[in-house]
Structure 1
Amino acid sequence: MKTALFLVSVSTAIAFTGFGATLPGKSARSVPGKTHTITRSAAALTTVSRNAITPDPDNGGIKLTNGFRGLVFADNLGKARHIAVDNAGTVFVKLEKLNDGKGIVELTDANGDGRADQTVMFGNNTGTGMGIYNGYLYASSDTSVYRYKMTNGKVLETTPAESIIAGLTLQRQHASKSFAISPDGKLFVNFGAPSNACQEKDRQKGSKGMDPCPILEEYGGIWQFDANKLNQHKADGKRYATGIRNAVALDWNTATNSLYALQHGRDNLNNWGGVFTDEVSAELPNEEFLMVKEGANFGWPYCYNDQNQGKKMLAPEYGGDGTKVDRCAGMEKPIMAFPAHWAPNDLLFYTGTQFPARYKNGAFVCFHGSWNRAPMKQGGYFVAFIPFGKDGRPSSKYEVFAENFAGVAELGKPGTDVNAGKLDLASPGDAKARPVGLAQGPDGSLYISDSVKGKVWRVMYMAKK
């Protein structure tokens, strides 16, 4: 879930709060001091803040498309996941592992140089989901969704966490409860399937798929709850869409008033041999970009997407041989497909005006990077941009917006050769950084988080439009 920018008014109130001494990256809970509130027009804020910022000479170590510059907003926060930015510019980062016993980082740029100079940490839950809605900071662990009331763009030390959804069962696979919130308060939560393909023996060669798949009763889809209601449990929600193995990347598109998601495709097609060679299993099935309507069924575990054939194909666990469609003929198709195992971990529809007009209402996607593409090269590890048309679908191919996170050369570019999106990287553990979260600032800047050491980049458009 991204910052709810539809709540921004014509004038933006910015609170500058005095804190006890803390340093960027230091895990500490500061004591709020005196607060001074200054009100400026949103247009004036955008001009003043960006003109005062000097980007890093190397854009913080990443390569950006023409006209864009970047800087390191914060570093060494810990294993960062999703992020959110308040209307006053406060950046909140969710951590996968506790840092000094805390699971959320609050970052403030008090002197206006574009970099965090006040770091505050709070909360004792790890997890992935992070978002801002209706004056509250929402976050998730693998078993819950909760929120904090915000005061002048911050979460005060005395503010308690309020339970939105509790008591979810912890699963061994695909446990992160990423979420998105619509403008009218619908809370959409990913319930990833704790399985690869719903086999009787998970990931084992020759083990058939369970039919019907019992996992779909409680997992493998997106559930809808009420973002404004406290103390909900799984039974209080309803299954909004099914047949989605795991959708870490979710966002609500205000231009189409629709939910979108990106699915992590299944692994281990090569367990079945025949046409499913190691090379085929490295490239298939696709990572799917989904337009998610209520009641939609995207076919997991019975089906997988093969962009080469333009079809949903029957999975080998259910009798598929690489040519059969069978029951998959009626399943929902993706609006765009990407190569296998790139791990799309966040999605953001851009609503700002800082970037050129062609970016408005287009989609940014964070590809966290692969782990199981052997014997092929690793893939992903970049941020893509996808232009969208008025029909709520991509209007052209994806573009590489930000790359070089892993610190190694990319072997090919989109539309040029078969190595597009592939890296000269032996394993994910060798990557210097892995992009995982996206958020939009009040001035239209794009923030990107990293899950290796916890770096946050701020990306701005600094050329003439």
Structure 2
Amino acid sequence: MTKISCAYIPLAVCIALNIVACSTKTNDKPKTILPDKDNAELQLPEGFGALKVADSIGEARHLVVNDNGDILVKLNRPKDGKGIVILSDEDKDGRADRNTGFGDYGGTGIALKGEYLYASSNTSVFRYPLNENQLPENTGTPDTIVHNLIDRGQHNSKSIVLDNNENLYVNIGAYSNACQERDRTKDSPGMYPCPILDSAGGIWKFKARMMKQSYGQGTRYATGLRNVVGLDWNTADNTLYVMQHGRDNLHDLFPELYDSGASAELPAEALYKIEEGDDAGWPYVYYDRDQGKNVLGPEFGGDGKKEPEEGKGKDAIDPLVAFPAHIAPNGLLFYTGSMFPEKYKNGAFIAFHGSWNRAPEKQEGFMVAFVPFKSGKPAGPWEIFADGFAGKDPVMAPGEAKHRPCGLAQGPDGSLYVSDDAGGTIYRILYNGKE
């Protein structure tokens, strides 16, 4: 601010002019973003606050935030002809006051990398060049990077992430629960070897700058992953990490081996560190948290205790972290910001969408968890970071949940964004406390 000289004007006038100048300068500063008075109805650790950036935008799946603070959200189904929503905060109060969009296709995946925005349908991955404001151009004619991927209804979302070497990783979920001859049918045996793994049940790697790739041009990077909706490239160790959705229906399919209580608690949802060529064991094995090991699946001769066998998951990797069953991890983000306290630096946030098949137990999940990391390994137990999305407790059926966390993104200031595909809400979590 330039101070106004009082040499040639009355003192009272000079003081008034300087006050105005000071006030004008203060108003030029970025506004302080304040959380909602009720923290958007969320329960958070001390020092954190939350606000609703937008509401009722559609089935909000994954999301990204550009350097200007614009939020780009992939919708599961287009709303008003828009499959990708752009939320802008023009008055800088932290809440979106402009909603635009483009793209007439549904899907889950979205990523910003370099000069491009990437977004997925359930069969393809598209690319849009960005303008100087980091917003997409040529929205009606995107590049098709990947196409003709399997979509057979079940586990068909194509989550995406990019590394720092122009490679694109795509989840292709298994169109099956456990690779039975008749899917989800009592006493139906498993198919061995599982033919689904040729084109699904894993992570495929493509070139981010090559057009119209499919299975022939892509590489099966990892296999034995039933369905991965949450995945992220951890820049701290330059490695892919994924969250696995465990299999269902143990009691329904094999009541002689599993009671309903065991079926509600098995198997674990799991965080894996993935190297090229890894096999996580699906459909032959599942991970049992209580036993702390992979167990042979009943479709392949298991009884709830048998060890994996040669060719049937014996060489499957173990997860880094095992979470409770059936809570649907749909978002994964390694935090690199500077807003949150040091314990969160390089740690993993996971958005749990919430369960649908834990009956007769209450449904669980509907929260964001945190895992501290150090040197590429968990550095402590996981914890609930943000809770209260469901709006009630207990939730006995998934339709009772008011909000269901799905995607995670980090803002340029280090705040954490969470999407919700039930109520269409976008949350922003801030830290205003002292370390």
Q: Common fold, TM-score beyond 0.5?
A: yes
Q: Could you tell me which runs of 5 or more consecutive residues in structure 2 were left unpaired when the two chains were aligned.
A: 1-27
Per-residue CA shift, 1:50-90, capped at 9, x if unaligned? x5212110111212111111111111101110000111111
Which secondary structure state, in structure 1, belongs to the residue aligned with residue 351 of structure 2? Answer: strand
Q: Could you tell me which runs of 5 or more consecutive residues in structure 1 were left unpaired when the two chains were aligned.
A: 1-46, 410-423
Q: What's the counterpart of residue 222 of structure 1?
A: 203
206-215 or 146-155, which deviates more: 146-155
Alignment of 1:60 with 2:40, yes or no, is yes
Paired residue for 2:171, among 190, 200, 203?
190
Paired residue for 1:89, among 64, 69, 84?
69
Alignment of 1:39-188 (within 5 A): 49=30, 52-151=32-131, 152-156=133-137, 160-188=141-169
Per-residue CA shift, 1:88-114, capped at 9, x if unaligned? 111000101110111000011111111
Paired residue for 1:287, among 265, 269, 272?
269
Alignment of 1:307 with 2:289, yes or no, is yes
Residue pair 1:149, 1:159 contacting (<8 A) in 2 also: no
Amino acid at match of 1:110: E
Q: What's the counterpart of residue 338 of structure 1?
A: 323
TM-score normalized by structure 1?
A: 0.85
Structure 2: distance between partners of 1:219 and 1:119: 35
Alignment of 1:363 with 2:343, yes or no, is no
Residue identity over aligned pairs, in percent, reads: 52
Q: CA deviation at 1:48?
A: 5.3
The number of residue pairs the alignment matches comes to: 403
Alignment of 1:400 with 2:384, yes or no, is yes
Paired residue for 2:258, among 268, 273, 276?
276
Which secondary structure state, in structure 1, belongs to the residue aligned with residue 196 of structure 2? Answer: helix
Q: CA deviation at 1:157?
A: 6.5
Residue pair 1:65, 1:400 contacting (<8 A) in 2 also: no
Structure 2: distance between partners of 1:389 and 1:324: 33
Residue pair 2:74, 2:84 contacting (<8 A) in 1 also: yes
Per-residue CA shift, 1:407-430, capped at 9, x if unaligned? 013xxxxxxxxxxxxxx1121111
**Which entry has the higher C-alpha Rg, 1 or 2?**
2
Q: What's the counterpart of residue 412 of structure 2?
A: 442
Q: What's the counterpart of residue 3 of structure 1?
A: none
Residue pair 2:128, 2:142 contacting (<8 A) in 1 also: yes
CA 1:277–1:144: 2 relative to 1, 3 Å: same
Structure 1: distance between partners of 2:266 and 2:44: 28
Which secondary structure state, in structure 2, belongs to the residue aligned with residue 219 of structure 1? Answer: coil
Amino acid at match of 1:94: K
Amino acid at match of 2:344: Y
Structure 1: distance between partners of 2:74 and 2:411: 16
Which secondary structure state, in structure 2, belongs to the residue aligned with residue 364 of structure 1? Answer: strand
Structure 1: distance between partners of 2:186 and 2:56: 41
Alignment of 1:266 with 2:236, yes or no, is no
Per-residue CA shift, 1:146-178, capped at 9, x if unaligned? 011111121247663111101223212000000
Structure 2: distance between partners of 1:361 and 1:138: 24
Q: CA deviation at 1:275?
A: 3.2
Residue pair 2:362, 2:397 contacting (<8 A) in 1 also: no
Q: What's the counterpart of residue 7 of structure 2?
A: none
Residue pair 2:110, 2:119 contacting (<8 A) in 1 also: yes
Structure 2: distance between partners of 1:320 and 1:157: 53
Which secondary structure state, in structure 1, belongs to the residue aligned with residue 216 of structure 2? Answer: helix
Which secondary structure state, in structure 2, belongs to the residue aligned with residue 379 of structure 1? Answer: coil
Structure 1: distance between partners of 2:380 and 2:42: 24
Which secondary structure state, in structure 2, belongs to the residue aligned with residue 330 of structure 1? Answer: coil
